[in-house]
Amino acid sequence: MAPQPTKSEASSGEVGASESTRSRAELIRLLNEDLAREYQAIIAYVVYSQVLKGAQYMSIAQELETHAAEELQHALIISKQIDYLGGVPAVVPLPVRTSEDPEQMLRFDLENEVDTVRNYRARVRQCEALSEYAVAEHIREILVQEQEHLIDLATALGETPPTIT
Ligand SMILES: [Fe+2]
Ligand SMILES: [Fe+2]
């Protein structure tokens, strides 16, 4: 963890320093949420890629297998950034929703990717506000792949990719 401000710092009016310590702690907390989301994505893609049945879904099932491997790389990159910032990487994934219905499965994935893209966009801005440009750069690279995942899923569902606000 980043060092906490000492009592004398806190009372000497060095608001900037303690403010920045707080923001870094908040960034670590948010990156751990991102990591929990990556674990969720790994599990979802491992399972969905194998249980999707039906001739029309074979090509997307193959694609989901590729996504699973990419999500693992993302989890490793995010853990590394958390460790670099002085935090401890989380170990619990967000819950994974399942369905017997292939279309529903793809929709769950699409919803999760939308959520992921929205969060990483915010994370880039937060990293840059703290001058953590290298962390921001890693997240931008992940973001490129997350947007591709989103497009793959929307295409498989025969939809245009949703606008993310
Ligand atoms: Fe990911
Ligand atoms: Fe993804």
Q: Is 10 a member of any domain?
A: no
| Residue 12 belongs to a domain | no
Query: Does residue 141 lie within any of the structural domains?
Result: yes
Q: How far is CA 82 from the centre of its chain?
A: 13
Domain that holds residue 26: 19-156
Read off the tokens for 37: 């989301």
Per-residue model confidence (pLDDT) at position 105: 96
* Residue list, CB under 5 A from ion ligand 2: 146, 149
Nearest to 149 by CA among 91, 71, 79: 71
Is 107 a member of any domain? yes
> Between the CA of residue 99 and those of 36, 66, 106, 108, 159, what are the distances in Å?
21, 21, 10, 9, 20
DSSP state of 1: -
pLDDT of residue 21: 86
The answer for residues whose C-beta is within 8 angstroms of residue 124's C-beta and 6 or more apart is: 136, 139, 140, 143
Neighbouring residues of 31: CB distance < 8 A, sequence distance ≥ 6: 78, 81, 82, 85, 87, 123
Q: How far is the CA of 103 from the centre of ligand 1 (A)?
A: 21
Looking at residue 20, its pLDDT comes to 84
pLDDT of residue 7: 45
Q: How far is the CA of 5 from the centre of ligand 2 (A)?
A: 37
pLDDT of residue 19: 84
pLDDT tens, per residue, the chain with 165 residues = 455 554 444 444 455 778 888 899 999 999 999 999 999 999 999 999 999 988 999 999 999 999 999 999 999 999 999 999 999 999 999 999 999 999 999 999 999 999 999 999 999 999 999 999 999 999 999 999 999 999 999 999 999 999 998
User: 145 CA to middle of ligand 2, Å?
Assistant: 7
- Where residue 142 sits, what CATH number does that domain have? 1.20.1260.10
CA of 26 to the centre of ligand 2 (A): 23
162 within domain boundaries:
no
What pLDDT does 3 receive?
53
The pair of three-digit structure tokens given for residue 156, joined into one six-digit string: 């498989």
45, 64 Cβ separation under 8 angstroms: yes
Q: How many domains does the chain have?
A: 1
Query: Has residue 51 been placed in a domain?
Result: yes
Residue for token pair 């004398």: 8
Residue 70 lies in a domain: yes
Domain presence at residue 82 = yes
